[in-house]
């Protein structure tokens, strides 16, 4: 699938939309202008001047001018990709024609912005034939403006059942001689409009979780070599909820997410990167509690669990309302089942290097061990977790490292912050490890 693609990134963590023209301001392009000057963790991987929903219909003509002006002036230094969103609707040819005219104008080389624009975002697409209409407009625009064929990428917002279904067809449709769908880049979920199209409701007006939509978008992206991005998280102050949503998304293979503010951009740029150091979790009652690291010991100081020594090799472990009398082996087993280890960047690199060395020495599988001293109610106990690594484990574990390498390669403006986060040594080792498969 990769031939013909006009983008190099393997990952997009952040998809940040800005209104293109705000009424009642001295400078209607103020928000565009400030977004264009974001750098480092505050700058998104994909910046989306939004001439659709974020901008009032009456301001969209001015929005096109503002995109042209601001991107011409600031585009050169912007560290992420730039993908303006134009208007589009599967059910409305007049909206589609407006979208065509907006793209034609923004892409006009005489206006000076097109050198810095990587592609366009098409909202409200329908089935695959509707995607082809947008693709055809881009082909015409490239031709009219003397741009290389497929030099403009196309990202779509999935906000209807028919668009969700279209993600099934990408593998068989991309590459047909009668279209240029190779230009596809991001598949983005748009849950507000999807909810409307599906006529779904919840008692409190919150968005439904739509786990199947997210799975299908992620799978469609994976099958067609594209990148999946989840929709906006409305409650801007709820950083914890935003992080939780991203953790869920990554378990579905969806690394990217929409960001509505530079604060959300920072959170979402950092969230998929592994933590600097590993940590131990204790799972009690469906809650996961991170243990305090005190001089290498991992200490639990909560109330959900208590441990008491009866004599030499007898312990009483109380978990919630249940009480178990155990010897030290049984206790160790019980605690192993209750604990989990979250790998840090350093651990992942270590494990990968260890496996690479083993492979060079002709071994197909080796055991990786994580050990610590657990301390509960003053009682200390060594525990260690083994995990068998084979080629498949190695390659699956590589995903966060590949992400890190991709970020490091494409975002020099974040090098300083990455070094602060991890230390120069870890960064260097993380860039050296692994291989393309």
Q: Where in 185-244 is the site for its own copies (CB under 8 A)?
A: 192-193, 195-206, 208-209, 211-213, 215-216, 218-223, 234, 238
CA-wise closest residue to 161 among 216, 92, 122 = 216
CB of 102 to its own copies, least distance (A): 17
As given in the structure block, the two tokens for residue 11 are: 């990952």
Alpha helices for 13-160 (secondary structure H): 30-36, 60-74, 93-106, 128-144
Q: Report, in Å, the least distance between residue 4 CB and its own copies.
A: 16
Piece of 69-77, 78-86, 110-118, 340-348 that binds its own copies (CB under 8 A): 340-348
In whole angstroms, the minimum distance from the beta carbon of 158 to its own copies comes to 11
Nearer to its own copies (CB atom), residue 340 or residue 353? 340
**Using rule CB under 8 A, residue 55 touches its own copies:** yes
- Contacting residue, 251, 310, 357, 432, with its own copies by CB under 8 A: 251
Give yes or no for a contact between 234 and 205, defined as CB atoms under 8 angstroms apart: no
State the Cα angle at 211 between 205 and 215, rounded to 5°.
145
Who's near 55: CB < 8 A, 6+ residues apart? 19, 20, 21, 22, 63
Site for its own copies in 288-307 (CB under 8 A): 303
Q: Which is nearer to its own copies, 84 or 220 (CB)?
A: 220
In the region spanning residues 355 to 384, those forming contacts with its own copies, defined by CB under 8 A, are 362-364
Give the per-residue SS3 of 350-401.
HHHHHHHHHHHCCCCCEEEEEEEEEEECCEEEEEEEEEEECHHHHHHHCHHH
Smallest distance, its own copies to C-beta of residue 189, A? 13
Fill in the per-residue mask, 149 to 188: x = in contact with its own copies (CB under 8 A), - = not in contact: -----------xxx-xx--x--xx----------------
Query: With contact defined as beta carbons under 8 Å apart, do 389 and 363 qualify?
Result: no
Compute the least distance from the CB of residue 138 to its own copies, in Å.
24
Q: Give the three-state DSSP class for 181.
A: helix
User: Residue from 343, 372, 405, 414 that binds its own copies (CB under 8 A)?
Assistant: 343
Q: Name the percent of the chain in helix, strand, coil, to the closest 5.
A: 45, 25, 35
Q: Which stretch binds its own copies (CB under 8 A): 94-102, 307-315, 386-394, 417-425?
A: 386-394
- Candidates 30, 124, 11; CA nearest to 69 is 30
- Residue from the set 4, 8, 23, 369 that interacts with its own copies by CB under 8 A: 23
> Which tokens go with 276?
């600097």
Task: Among 45, 50, 53, 142, indicate the residue that binds its own copies (CB under 8 A).
Answer: 53
What distance in Å separates the CA atoms of residue 129 and residue 134, rounded to the nearest whole number? 9
| Binding test (CB under 8 A) with its own copies, winner from 147, 281, 299, 379 | 281
List Cα–Cα distances, 214 to 74, 225, 315, 342, in angstroms: 34, 16, 46, 25
Identify the H or E element spanning 403.
helix 399-410
Among 121, 152, 397, 433, binds its own copies (CB under 8 A): 397
Among 147, 309, 342, 379, binds its own copies (CB under 8 A): 342
Which CB, 58 or 311, lies closer to its own copies? 58
Interface size with its own copies, residues (CB under 8 A): 77
């Amino acid at each position: 699938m990769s031939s013909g693609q006009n983008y190099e990134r393997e990952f997009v963590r952040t998809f940040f939309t800005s209104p293109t023209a705000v009424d009642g301001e001295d400078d209607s392009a103020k928000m565009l202008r400030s977004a264009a000057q974001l750098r480092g963790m505050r700058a998104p991987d994909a910046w989306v001047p939004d001439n659709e929903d974020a901008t009032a219909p009456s301001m969209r003509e001015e929005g096109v001018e503002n995109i042209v002006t601001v991107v011409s002036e600031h585009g050169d230094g912007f560290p992420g990709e730039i993908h303006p969103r134009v208007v589009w609707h599967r059910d409305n040819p007049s909206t589609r024609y407006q979208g065509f005219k907006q793209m034609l104008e923004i892409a006009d080389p005489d206006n000076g912005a097109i050198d810095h624009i990587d592609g366009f975002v098409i909202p409200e697409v329908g089935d695959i034939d509707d995607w082809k209409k947008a693709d055809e407009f881009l082909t015409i625009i490239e031709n009219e403006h003397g741009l290389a064929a497929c030099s403009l990428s196309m990202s779509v917002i999935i906000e209807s059942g028919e668009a969700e279904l279209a993600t099934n067809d990408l593998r068989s449709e991309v590459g047909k001689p009668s279209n240029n769908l190779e230009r596809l880049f991001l598949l983005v979920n748009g849950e507000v409009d999807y909810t409307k199209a599906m006529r779904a409701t919840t008692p409190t007006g919150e968005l439904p979780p739509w786990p199947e939509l997210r799975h299908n978008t992620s799978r469609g992206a994976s099958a067609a070599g594209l990148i999946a991005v989840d929709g906006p998280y409305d409650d801007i102050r709820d950083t914890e909820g935003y992080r939780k949503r991203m953790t869920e998304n990554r378990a579905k293979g969806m690394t990217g997410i929409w960001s509505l503010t530079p604060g959300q951009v920072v959170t979402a740029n950092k969230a998929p990167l592994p933590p600097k150091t590993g940590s131990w979790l204790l799972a009690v009652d469906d809650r996961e509690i991170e243990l305090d690291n005190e001089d290498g010991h991992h200490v639990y100081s909560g109330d959900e669990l208590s441990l008491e020594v009866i004599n030499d090799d007898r312990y009483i472990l109380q978990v919630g309302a249940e009480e178990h009398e155990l010897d030290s082996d049984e206790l160790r087993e019980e605690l192993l089942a209750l604990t989990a280890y979250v790998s840090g960047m350093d651990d992942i690199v270590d494990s990968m290097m260890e496996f690479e060395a083993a492979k060079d020495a002709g071994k197909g599988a080796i055991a990786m061990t994580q050990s610590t001293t657990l301390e509960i109610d003053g009682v200390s106990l060594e525990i260690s977790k083994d995990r068998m690594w084979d080629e498949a484990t190695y390659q699956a574990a590589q995903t966060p490292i590949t992400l890190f390498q991709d970020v490091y390669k494409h975002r020099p403006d974040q090098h300083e912050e990455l070094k602060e986060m991890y230390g120069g040594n870890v960064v260097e080792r993380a860039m050296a490890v692994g291989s393309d498969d």
